[in-house]
Structures are given as C-alpha cells and as structure tokens.
Amino acid sequence: MSEFGSMRPPVFQSPPVVLALIAVLAAIHGLLQLAGNDWQVWSLYAFAFIPARYGGEPFPAIAGAQVWSFLSYAFLHASWTHLLFNSLWLLIFGTVVARYLGAFRFLLVFAIAAIAGAAATLADHWGDGTIMIGASGGVSGLMAAAMPIIYGGGKFHGFATGDPASTVPLTPGEFLRHRGALIFTGVFLLITLYSGATGFTGNSYMAQGGIAWEDHLGGFAGGLVAFYLLARGRLRA
C-alpha cells in the first residue's frame, strides 16, 4: 500500500482517552435514563451547575456541590441529541489536542475549560435558579486549544504522518495575527451568540431549554489559556 493510501485522517485514530471520555459521558446519560426521574432530578441537585447556590436566598444543595459542580455539570446532558453534538465535536477537536498534549494534559484542558465556562456563567447569572448541564464548555475549550495546533507549522503535517510532536503550534502572538485562526474564532463567537439568542443547537440550560452561551465563551477562553500554559516549551522561540 502506498504511503498516501496508508494514512487515515487523525479523527479515525482517536486516542483512547478521547474515546473513553465519550464513553463515560454516554454511560452516565444512559444509566440516568434507565434509573428514572427521581435519580435524574437528584443528579441535577447533586452535580448540575446552579448559580443560585452562590449568594441570594438559600438554595437546596448537597454539601460540597458548590465546589465540584464547577466541573461535574459537564458530565450530565439534557438529551441524547445534546450528548451526540458534544461527543461529535469532542471526537474531532479532542483528538487533535490529545494527540499533541497527551492524555493527562488533554483532560486538564477539558476540566479547566469546563470550570472557566461555569465561572463565566456564574458571573452573568449570580444567584439565578438556572440549571446548567452539558460538556459544551469543555468541548469549546478543546476547540480553542486545537486551533494553534491545526494552524501551526507544517500545516498539520505532524498529524498526517503520525508524529504530532513534529507539529509546532502557533504562539499566542501568531494566533492573534493568523487569518485562519481569527476567522475560526470569529465564526465560533457568532454561532455561540446566535445560538444563545435562538437556542437552535440544543439545550444547555434546563430551566429555559436554551444555550449556555456564557459557558461556551468562558470555556473557549479557558481552553486557549490552558493550552498555552500546558504547551510551554514546545512553541516557537
């Protein structure tokens, strides 16, 4: 077989950690669907991100939920469609990040982005009873983290040849000057704000059935910052 014929797009060579994370998300959603309404409601109070827990009038909560829900909300989904969309983008962009940074740092980017998304939501909805769930913040962060890699040196050559270490990502300064990266970021912002206004891409807020656009924006920013912190020493001088 020729060298060209033996190469497959990197999405079809997803690292085990990416597939494992998707499997965990699917298993959690599936188990809650089987468990019934009582367990589903309990999972929201235990693990969803609810700004009303912070300030304002007392809100029912399990002890500790104020802390871990900054991340745990990302493992719950409103529907199979909601889960499917997040899993698709996680597979595509998560593969890029995991192949470059490795399993542990990939998970760190996802976690930091999810936490940043929750923090952005809290800033805009302080004391609000909105219930937020979904991996969109973490996935948005992985999308942001993938951009310096995709637009980096060699035009993604390292991933086509199976050697991601040979790819040199854009530096922060290069990212801010790169036309492709800026166009992608602009399109992401427009889609996020439009979906937040119309709700056309699915549910993230349980109460209103809307899109947690603050979560997406916070996650994108958090993921980009996390990538550059974790990729130090592997960028251009």
Domain of residue 164, CATH code: 1.20.1540.10
**For residue 235, what pLDDT band results from cuts at 50, 70 and 90?**
low
Residue 160 scores a pLDDT above 50: no
Total-model pTM: 0.85
Owning domain of residue 155: 3-230
Residue 130 scores a pLDDT above 80: yes
- Read off the pLDDT of each residue in 121-136 and give the average, rounded to a whole number: 87
- Read off the pLDDT of each residue in 53-67 and give the average, rounded to a whole number: 78
Strand ranges (E), 44-186: none
Residue 65 within a domain? yes
Name the average pLDDT for the chain.
83
Number of domains in the chain: 1
For the stretch 77-87, pLDDT in tens is 988 988 999 99
Residue 235 within a domain? no
Residue 78 within a domain? yes
Residue 25 within a domain? yes
Residue 150 within a domain? yes
Pick from 58-62, 77-81, 88-92, 207-211: least confident:
207-211
Residue 237 within a domain? no
Q: Which residues contact 237 (CB under 8 A, 6 or more apart)?
A: none
Q: Which residues contact 168 (CB under 8 A, 6 or more apart)?
A: 152, 153, 154, 234, 235, 236
Res 115: pLDDT:
97
- Read off the pLDDT of each residue in 145-168 and give the average, rounded to a whole number: 69
Residue 32 within a domain? yes
**For residue 232, what pLDDT band results from cuts at 50, 70 and 90?**
confident
Q: Provide long-range contacts, Cβ within 8 A and 24+ apart, for 50-56.
A: 50/129, 50/130, 50/131, 50/132, 51/121, 51/122, 51/125, 51/126, 51/127, 51/128, 51/129, 51/130, 51/132, 52/127, 52/128, 52/129, 52/130, 54/122, 54/126, 54/127, 55/126, 55/127, 56/126, 56/127
**For residue 236, what pLDDT band results from cuts at 50, 70 and 90?**
low
Residue 192 scores a pLDDT above 50: yes
Residue 122 within a domain? yes
- Read off the pLDDT of each residue in 21-49 and give the average, rounded to a whole number: 94
